[in-house]
Amino acid sequence: MPVRLRKEIQEMLRRLILLLLPLSLGAQVWPEAWREHKRVKAEPVAVADQALFNEYGGEQAETASYTGPAGKFRATAWRLKDSTGALGWYQAMRPENGVPVRGNPLACVTPGAYWLAQKNYVIEIEGWRPTERELDSLLALLPKVRSGGGLPVFASYLPEKDRIRNSERFITGLTSLERFEKRIPGIQVGFEDSAEIALARYRTAGTETNLALINYPTNQLARIKADAFNKNPEWTVKRSGPFVAVALAPPGPAPQALLDQVNYSATTMWDQATKPPPMPNVGGMLVAIFELTGVLLLICLGGGLLFATLWLYMRRRQAMLTGSESPFTSLHISGD
C-alpha cells in the first residue's frame, strides 16, 4: 500500500474516532422526559476528583436541565459500576450540612438541593425535591442501572453513639485512603487482600476521634493485621471476628469506650431435617406391584373377551345377511 494512501486512511480513521468518541462517552444519561418534566439541556460533567471517581468505579457523569409543572430544576447524575462504589462516591460528595432523610440512609437535603444514592447512581437535584414514586419512575428510565451485590454490611457495625453526622466515608483503595485518612499507611491495611474500610468521626468528652473499621476476608488475616496495628502506640486497636477497629487516638477511656461498641456477630444458617425421614415400606411396595399386575391382567383379559365377542357377533351377522359364514365374497363369474 502506498505511503500516501496509508496516511490518508489513518487520517480518515482519526477523524472518525474524534467524531464518534464524544457520542460514545457522552451518551445520554438523563431521559428526554421524566414524567411530566421535559429535558431542556444536557451536558457532561467535569468530575473534580477524577482519581477518586475512577477508584469507586466511575463510568459517566452528566447534568441536565428540566422544565415542567414543578418549574425549572437542574439534575446531575454520576454512574458507577455498582452500589458499593455509589456508596463511597455519595459519602464523598454529599455536603456536610446535609440533613438525612428519614427512612433513607443514602439521601440528604440542603436548603437548595436533594442528594441520594440509588443502585449504582449518585444523584443531585437542585431546585426541586421529587417524591419516592417519581424517583422510582426515574430509576426505570436511567441506563445501565445495576446493584452489583448490594451495600457492604460491615459498615453498619460503626457505632452510632457520638458519631458526627455526615462524617462516614467508605474506603476501597489507596486514593480514598489518601483523601480521608492519611495517617493509616496503605501498605499496612493490605488492600491487595480485599480489605475495605468504613471510616467515621466521633466527638466524645470534647475531643474528636477517627475510627476506622477494617473488614478482612478471614479471622486469621484480621488477627495478623491487628497485631501489626497494635505496634503503633498512638492508636487503640480491637479485633472482633474479621473486623479490626482502629481508633486513631492513644489508649484511654474514650477510645476504649468507642471500641467496646464494635462487636462482630456471625449469622449462620444450617439446613437440617427436624426428624429422620421414614423408612420405605417394602411390603407395601410389593403389594402395590402385585395389585398393579392384577389390574393389568384383568385389562388384558377383558380386552381379549371384548375382541372375541365382537368377532363372533360380526361373523353371525354376516351369516344372516349372506347365508354363509365364509369371510370371502364370491362374484360367480363364469367364462362363458
**Residue 231: what pLDDT?**
95
149 to each of 55, 90, 153, 195, how far by Cα in Å?
A: 18, 17, 11, 17
The answer to whether residue 251 sits within a structural domain is yes
SS3 258: helix
pLDDT band at 62 (very low <50, low <70, confident <90, very high): very high
The answer on pLDDT for 134 being more than 90 is: yes
Quick one: what percent of the chain has pLDDT higher than 70?
Answer: 85
By the 8 A CB rule, do 192 and 169 touch?
A: no
Residue 122 makes CB contacts below 8 A (sequence gap 6+) with 77, 78, 80, 86, 89, 90, 93, 115, 116
Using only C-alpha atoms, the chain has a radius of gyration, in whole angstroms, of 39
The answer on pLDDT for 34 being more than 50 is: yes
pLDDT band at 4 (very low <50, low <70, confident <90, very high): low
Residue 242 makes CB contacts below 8 A (sequence gap 6+) with 215, 216, 217, 218, 219, 221, 222, 264
**Residue 23: what pLDDT?**
39
Q: Work out the average pLDDT over 284-305.
A: 88
Q: Indicate whether 104 and 64 sit together in one domain.
A: yes
The answer to whether residue 101 sits within a structural domain is yes
pLDDT band at 199 (very low <50, low <70, confident <90, very high): very high
Q: Indicate whether 223 and 258 sit together in one domain.
A: yes
Q: Indicate whether 180 and 128 sit together in one domain.
A: no
Q: Indicate whether 170 and 103 sit together in one domain.
A: no
Single out the residue in 214, 232, 265 at which a domain terminates: 265
The CATH number that applies at residue 85 is 3.40.1000
pTM tops 0.75, yes or no? no
**Residue 159: what pLDDT?**
95
Q: Indicate whether 135 and 200 sit together in one domain.
A: no
Q: Please state, in angstroms and rounded to a whole number, the distance separating the CA atoms of residues 62 and 75.
A: 8
Q: Indicate whether 138 and 164 sit together in one domain.
A: no
Q: Give 282 or 263, the one with higher predicted confidence.
A: 263
Q: Indicate whether 203 and 177 sit together in one domain.
A: yes
The answer on pLDDT for 186 being more than 60 is: yes
Q: Indicate whether 132 and 215 sit together in one domain.
A: no
pLDDT band at 24 (very low <50, low <70, confident <90, very high): very low
Q: Indicate whether 124 and 166 sit together in one domain.
A: no
Q: Residue 68 is part of which domain span? A: 25-148
The answer to whether residue 234 sits within a structural domain is yes
Domains identified in the chain, total number? 2
By the 8 A CB rule, do 263 and 226 touch?
A: no
Q: Please state, in angstroms and rounded to a whole number, the distance separating the CA atoms of residues 74 and 125.
A: 6
